[in-house]
Every structure is written in structure tokens, then in C-alpha cells.
Structure 1
Amino acid sequence: MNIEDLLRETLSDMAHEEQPPPPGRFLRVDGRRSGRRGVALMAAATVTVLAVGSTLAVQGLSSRTAAPGLLPGQGSGETRTDNRITVHEGLRLSRVLADLSAATGKPLEEFERAAEDDEALGLPVYAKGALEGFAFPGTYHVSPTSSPKDILAGMVTRFRSVAEDTGLVEGARRLGRTPLEIMTIASIVQAESRDKRDMPKVARVVYNRLNGTPAMRLQMDSTVLYGLNKFGSRASDEDLKSRSPYNTYAHLGLPPGPICNPGMDAIEAALNPAAGRWLWFVVTDPQKGVMKFADSHSEFVKLAEKYRKNLKTG
């Protein structure tokens, strides 16, 4: 059920009531009606959301009564002045907030404060109060009257819709993981993949390392760099000494939470990893973004050597 249907159903109800070497080194939503009503009322209190595919229109509630195609205070002869903002897949929350601030002209501090108000944003319980991973990427039409809280709440609302469409909660249960763990895996898949066609295989590498006997450290540079608030594709030897809980070279298992905001393809890959025994992946041709996978150490060594050769000739 999408958010429009949810709101419609809720309002209708209320009307009738009385009240090894690292793989990348080289290179419960409550289903009861009362629970759904809480989500619907939360969404209605923050933004009006009109979703078409991956495009989402975000307007303040005051614009709901405006004529079609017009913003509050505009007459029929005036030009529409809302902003079209594209939030790309795989951006960290800090970058998302900075981009939204630049696009809207609203202070970054307002977005940062809004991002901390998890209740007002309507974050699912399993997000544990953190917006990272749940600011869903896409193209947004933002009214000048929309506050930072409205905009971020709209992104969370869109995430909720995607979570329902992909069966996130049920899929997590099937895989023996929590929804937060699935979103964490999806964020790693997003950060490590050059091509969406590789995402299911990257997800499989993550699961094979997590579920191995014995389990293997993930050893993902992307998580290390996130924990240090650094950017790039490769962590330095000094970075690998970090005590950050995001250092998956030092700690077994997943990091505490998502390291970026993944898109639909990465979420679906995390829920439906490819079948295979791969434990490594190597971007053998960095210029072309060619990624190869290996299930034996000897094969991994060959791929790593191919990477080094391409790096020298590139």
C-alpha cells in the first residue's frame, strides 16, 4: 500500500470513529491498522508526497489547497518557482544535507538539526534514530515554502514506500538479518559497486564472508573511510589501524549502520544476492570499472595482478 492509499484509508477510518585479503582492497514494521495510522498521520503532518516512479514532489501542507501546478500565493499568470533537486545514489548524509542546503538556499545548520529529529522525520524504529541510509535518493520538486524538515521527511516517506515495495522487513527476516543490517549491506554494496549489474555479486561476497565458518572480516575500505570521515576508494595502511567501529579490517561482522544512502538496485541486491561462492572482488580495470569475482585465493591473486598491470598502463 502506498502512502496516498494509507492516508486515504486512515482518514476514512477516522471519519467513522467517535474519537582473507579484502575483497575490495585492490581496486518490524507493525502491520496492525493502529500502527499504519501512526505512519500515515506522521506523514500527513510533515509533507504532502506525490510519487511517480523515482520522482517525488515535496510540498508543505499549506500548498495542498493551491490550484494544480501553482504554489501558495501564486496567481494563474505567475511562473512556477519550485526547485528540482536530484539526490544521487550512494551519497553520505553529510553530502546530502550540504547539497540540499546549496540547492534551496536554506542554512546547512537547519538541515543538520532537522536530520536529528527522527520522530518528526518518521524514521522507522529499526533505523535507531539515525537518518544515514534512509534519505532515499531521487529527484525532488521542492516548494519554496518547504522547510528542511519537510524535505527530509519526504525522503524518508519515499524510503518507506521503497521498503514496502521491496519487502524489506520480510526479506530481512528470511535472510536472518534485521532491516537495519540489510540497509547496512545495501550501503556497502552501493559504495563498492561500479555497475549495478555487479551489485548482486558484491552482496553475495558480503554474505559469504559474514556467514562463513569461521566468519571472515569484511575488510571493506569503504567502511574504514566512512568511519574516518574520509573520501576515496582505497584506505591507507595508517587508516587500517583505526579503532573506529566501522573498521571492518579490525572487527568481525557489519559496521554499526549504513555508510551512505543506497538506491533501489542496491537494496534489492542486498535482499536477493546472486548465487555463488565468491569471497573476493577486484576492480581489474579501474578506468572502465570492470569488476571480477573470485572464490579461491589463487584466482584472487591473478585478478589482483591484472589490476596492478592495468594501473600501470592506465
Structure 2
Amino acid sequence: MAEALEQNPKKRSGWKTALLILLILLLLGAMAAGGVGYYVYRSLLPMEAGEPVEVSIPSGTGSAAIAKLLEEQGIIKNGLIFSAYLKVKHEGDRFQAGNYQLAPGMTLAEITDKLNRGDVIKEEMIRFTIPEGYTVLQIAEKLAADGIVNKDSFLALANDSGKWTYPWITSIPSNAQLRYRLEGYLFPETYEMKKESTEQAILERMLAEWDKKQKSLPQGWEAQMDKLGLDLHGILTVASLVEREVAVDEERPLVAGVIYNRLKQKMPLQIDATVQYLFDKQKERLFEKDLQTQSPYNTYLNPGLPPGPIASPGLLSIKAALFPEETKYLFYVTKKDGSGGHLFAETFEEHKKNNAASKLEK
């Protein structure tokens, strides 16, 4: 009995030791958990505020890769913890690719919101307007003067229709007489493009605009071309003549009608604008020697239409070329009253009277 009593204190001592060890382990576990929790807490806090950084996120990049990228760029403290944060918040699957301006000091919520919205850096843009009736040369000079293109490169590309894939490009004849192959096909419009756009990109955009505008033409316009006996190249040629000759919109179908009437009667068109096209700078007045300039574009010396358009026509002129007003007019002369309108005549005698009357209007 005495021996049994002597063993009890030892058992009690062992039990206390085990309990102490357990308590120590629990304490260490708690301290470790607290340390991990504190580390996670600290990792979720924003970085110290700093200068903005441009971060590029390629298309198809997953949220884990984005988190790693943000850590490498110094925007967040820990990519793994940010990934876990996204999973807890059910975020990351709506992030959009692009170039972002992010800054150390942003909260994770702010970063997440910015990536979800696709709030990318706005690219620097250029804006330019091509007026109706501008020639390829005038377009090149205008864009070059604004520092947007290299004039020579632009003109070289405008003479190469083989670079473009639009089906209607095939209507441009392989004619060495064409001054610029894309003349008339660069739609006059206001454009907005990236600042560093190349000459080819700008030409492509202008051709795409014409392709788009074709869809806004009146129904049956293609059948109307067949009725007139012209292809698209011919229609744009007539439209360009109307564009350069007419200032009053209501007169566009009338002038188009005069052009078709003269073509039917095999009369030379005798349109001053085709002669002006031969000069790099438009003259205030054409003299007789100018009208004798040898060129296939000179409609005083050559019957029929010129080889191609002489400018970029707007939609009103294109519609007028497609749907001319039917009259018996063969002549017109510009009024000298400043209105920009014309006096029309069916006969040469009437035309001479109109010509004399217009001079009296000065």
C-alpha cells in the first residue's frame, strides 16, 4: 500500500507536464495563427503612396497572372494573397485587357473596380476633317501640313489600289492615265484616329467609310448604275464633276442631268473643273491656253468622261450622279451674283443669253 501511494505524485507530475506542453503548443499555434493573420492583414493594406505606373494587361491574361504582374509592378504587396482576396470576393473573371494607370497606395477594391470597368488609359487621338471636293493631293497636303502623314508616302499608297481588299476596288480600271488610283474613293468626313496611325491605316479608314456609306444610298442604286450604263468608277467620276461644279445642293441633280444629256449626244462636257484638276493649285481664272492643256482629263479636248474622279464627292453629289434630274438642259453658266447658282439652257442661243445676263449681275 505504501508503494502505491508513492507512485501517485509521479503520475500527477507527468499529467501536469503534458498539460503544460499542450498549453505551450496551443499558445504557439495561436501565436503562429496570429502571425499569419497579421501578415495577411498587412498584405491586404495598400502600398505606400507613390507615382502612377502604366500597367499593360494582355488579352486573355487570368486573374492570378494579373495579380503577379501587379506585385511585380509594385502596385500590391502580395500577388497570392490578392488572388485569394479575389476568390473570396468572387471577383477577377470580369477583368479587361488594356493599358492601365495604377498607383501604389490604391486599395484592392479600387484596383478591382478599375480593372472591372476597363478604365484604361485613353490613347492620344488625332482629329481631322476632309472637306467634300478635296482631291487626293489636297488631302495629302492638308494632313502633311498638320503633321499627320508624310505627303509622299500617302500619295504613293493612294496610287496603289492593290493593297485594299474591298470588292468594289475592282471597279477601278487598270488605266495608266489615272492620276491617283484612289481618287474619289477617300470619303470626305471628319475622322478620329490614334495619334500614331500610319498613312496606310488612314487610307484604310477612309476607304472603310466609303464602304459604310454605300449602305446608306437609296435602295436600288446598283440597278440604277446599270440603267445609266456606268459602273461604280463611272458614277464616282460623274459625282466628282458635280461636286466640283456645284455649290447649291438643289442644283446637283440638274448638273448631273446636263452631264448625262451631253454624253448621250456625244458632246464634249467642257467642264472647267476637269482642267483645274490638272494644276496642283487651283487658278482663279482659266485662260484659253489652259483649256488647250493636253491631258485625258481635259473635257474640252476629249469626249466622254475623264479617266476617273477628279475629287472626293459627298453623298449628295453621289446621289445626284445616280438619280439625275431629267431635263433637256445641255448648258449652264455660273451666276455672278455671289449665290453660287447657275443659269440653265437647252440651246446654245439660250446659253449665250444666260452668259451675257450673268455678266450683267456683277
Q: How far apart are 1:270 and its partner, in Å?
A: 0.1
Question: 1:106 is paired with a residue of what secondary structure?
Answer: coil
Q: How far apart are 1:151 and its partner, in Å?
A: 0.9
Alignment partner of 1:260 is 2:307: no
Higher relative contact order (CA 8 A, sep 6+): 1
One-letter identity of the residue aligned with 1:193:
V
Work out which of the residue numbers 128, 131, 135 in structure 1 matches 2:173: 128
Percent of aligned positions with the same letter in both sequences? 31
Q: How far apart are 1:229 and its partner, in Å?
A: 3.8
Q: Which position in structure 2 is the counterpart of 1:201?
A: 254
Residues 1:290 and 1:122: Cα distance change in structure 2 (over 3 Å): same
Is contact 2:225–2:235 with CA below 8 Å preserved after alignment? yes
**Structure 1 unaligned residues grouped into runs of 5+:** 1-63, 66-71
Alignment partner of 1:90 is 2:133: yes
Q: How far apart are 1:209 and its partner, in Å?
A: 0.3
The two structures have a TM-score, normalised by structure 2, of 0.62
Q: Which position in structure 2 is the counterpart of 1:102?
A: 145
Question: 1:238 is paired with a residue of what secondary structure?
Answer: helix
Question: 2:334 is paired with a residue of what secondary structure?
Answer: strand
Deviation readout 1:38-91 (Å, 9 max, x if unpaired): xxxxxxxxxxxxxxxxxxxxxxxxxx97xxxxxx74644856531111110000
Is contact 1:122–1:156 with CA below 8 Å preserved after alignment? no
One-letter identity of the residue aligned with 1:177:
L
Residues 1:100 and 1:229: Cα distance change in structure 2 (over 3 Å): closer
- Distance of 1:245 and 1:117 partners within structure 2: 20
Which has the higher mean CA deviation after the structures are superposed, 290-299 or 191-200? 290-299
Work out which of the residue numbers 259, 267, 287 in structure 2 matches 1:236: 287
* Cα RMSD after superposing both structures: 2.5
Question: 1:257 is paired with a residue of what secondary structure?
Answer: coil
- Distance of 1:165 and 1:174 partners within structure 2: 20
One-letter identity of the residue aligned with 2:162:
E
One-letter identity of the residue aligned with 1:125:
T
The two structures have a TM-score, normalised by structure 1, of 0.70
Alignment partner of 1:300 is 2:342: no
Is contact 1:101–1:108 with CA below 8 Å preserved after alignment? yes
Q: How far apart are 1:140 and its partner, in Å?
A: 0.3
- Distance of 1:234 and 1:277 partners within structure 2: 28
Is contact 1:279–1:296 with CA below 8 Å preserved after alignment? yes
Matches within 5 A, 1:175-194: 175-194=228-247
Residues 1:96 and 1:74: Cα distance change in structure 2 (over 3 Å): farther
Q: How far apart are 1:134 and its partner, in Å?
A: 0.3
Question: 1:83 is paired with a residue of what secondary structure?
Answer: strand
Is contact 1:163–1:169 with CA below 8 Å preserved after alignment? no
One-letter identity of the residue aligned with 2:258:
V
Q: Which position in structure 2 is the counterpart of 1:8?
A: none
- Distance of 2:210 and 2:284 partners within structure 1: 27
Residues 1:168 and 1:258: Cα distance change in structure 2 (over 3 Å): farther
